Structure 1
């Protein structure tokens, strides 16, 4: 990982605010294996840091929060094992005692949407869009836990539209579904909204926030557990011809020709 792929700042948006910026704008901030590893370590450290009250995640460049994963990484590992390893990072993010905010400016798809839906709150600019267009791009499938988080945040109807119709959801529709705390005009409004949100959280009772997060996590765990036989199902998908064609076409910058 380049030392600049993740930018970490403290207190820029207010006291007690840790800001994490995905900084690969030339690749729409797509996540690499090294970035995931660094985030896993960061969440472990942050969970023990009582000086941090709020964690803000964002993407650099103004065009994307994050546009999924760096697909070439799937060629260097067992795809299902890699997805399971990534999911452990999502779990650490979801389990943080601090309030987490995804500040979305641009497209938020694939792995980027998985990160955003494992945050407590989401704020977006008006032109931002959300989705999982994997049926048209890669021919893979989501793990049950990632699917559950999307369904919990966006609702079943929009989740089905994202995955079955490969459509991106606008910020306006996401806000209407309750997935976003606020939608702000494109431009400088995102920082101001996030800073105001973080300021209010920093003044709130830490006991109330941490207890509430623990309660929500405990209640969600049984519902988001993977279904029986899911790993075998995912191995069939990732080992099948559609995913192989999706990866080939993506790396060749071509439209995939799925066999169905």
Structure 2
């Protein structure tokens, strides 16, 4: 098929999403979230580019590995650009974002999240929809939404977090609004490795890429399909979930969370 990613690869370095093919190694596509001034928070445009890219990659067997990472050394991605929620129905927006997560999760290629810094909110959702995660020891993970926005996760995103980090750490992330360090994440198997610095991170990712490049494509794709089918049975959304989410997003706490976030104030949630 034509190289639809070429246009991304030729994009200016100021683009929010940088995509490079074969730079790390043949058959490897690198996706870099490039908004370091905003800790790589995802915009609607970035989500659309990722959705389009993952749709194209589903039929492109010339790519064997997809590596996702954040620019700037402070964050993989720090959630969503909150102002985007004001431009659309927030539940419809979440449903649309979830389609991108599902395309990422269904890719035939092996996907690796290379994490250096904060990985929260939408960033953590992307990382937990990847096959493998590697992080520097300075990295932290979480969903501190109970203290920031007063919203809620969709059931499928929550399930991916629970399946990767375990129920105990997932409850700590969401109920106590705590960020989890890379050492604890590695301890529960959420990470392939927790390394000292970005040089070691790059070396570990390259080692994974080299191993994957020598592996049987049939084995990799079949294994991914088997794991995905088993997970899909368990992660189905609960009945009436959309109505529940609409109540949350239409409530006073979310309105206060967005107002306070944009005003750079601490939210005063109702009790």
Measured against the shorter chain, the TM-score band is over 0.9
Shift >2 Å, 4+ stretches:
none
- Give the match for residue 166 of structure 2: 155
Distance in 2, matches of 1:45 and 1:194, equals 23
Distance in 2, matches of 1:13 and 1:66, equals 21
The 5 Å alignment of 1:172-187 reads: 172-187=183-198
Name stretches of at least 5 consecutive residues in structure 2 with no aligned partner. 1-11
Post-superposition Cα deviations, 1:160-184, rounded to whole Å, max 9, x if no partner, equal 0000000000000000010000011
Name stretches of at least 5 consecutive residues in structure 1 with no aligned partner. none
User: Does structure 1 conserve the Cα–Cα contact (< 8 Å) formed by 2:116 and 2:198?
Assistant: no
Post-superposition Cα deviations, 1:185-225, rounded to whole Å, max 9, x if no partner, equal 12311111101101100100000000000101111112111
Tell me whether 1:209 sits opposite 2:206 in the alignment. no
User: Does structure 2 conserve the Cα–Cα contact (< 8 Å) formed by 1:13 and 1:191?
Assistant: no
Residue 12 (structure 1) aligned to one of 4, 23, 30: 23
Cα drift, residue 47 of structure 1:
1.2
Greater Cα shift, 155-164 or 42-51: 42-51
Distance in 2, matches of 1:187 and 1:244, equals 38
Tell me whether 1:45 sits opposite 2:59 in the alignment. no
TM-score by length of 2: 0.94
Distance in 2, matches of 1:171 and 1:56, equals 19
Residue 189 (structure 1) aligned to one of 179, 200, 210: 200
Cα drift, residue 12 of structure 1:
2.0
Distance in 2, matches of 1:169 and 1:17, equals 29
TM-score by length of 1: 0.98
Cα drift, residue 31 of structure 1:
0.3
Distance in 2, matches of 1:80 and 1:187, equals 36
Cα RMSD between the aligned structures? 1.1
Cα drift, residue 10 of structure 1:
1.3
User: Partner of 1:159: helix, strand, or coil?
Assistant: helix
- Give the match for residue 132 of structure 1: 143
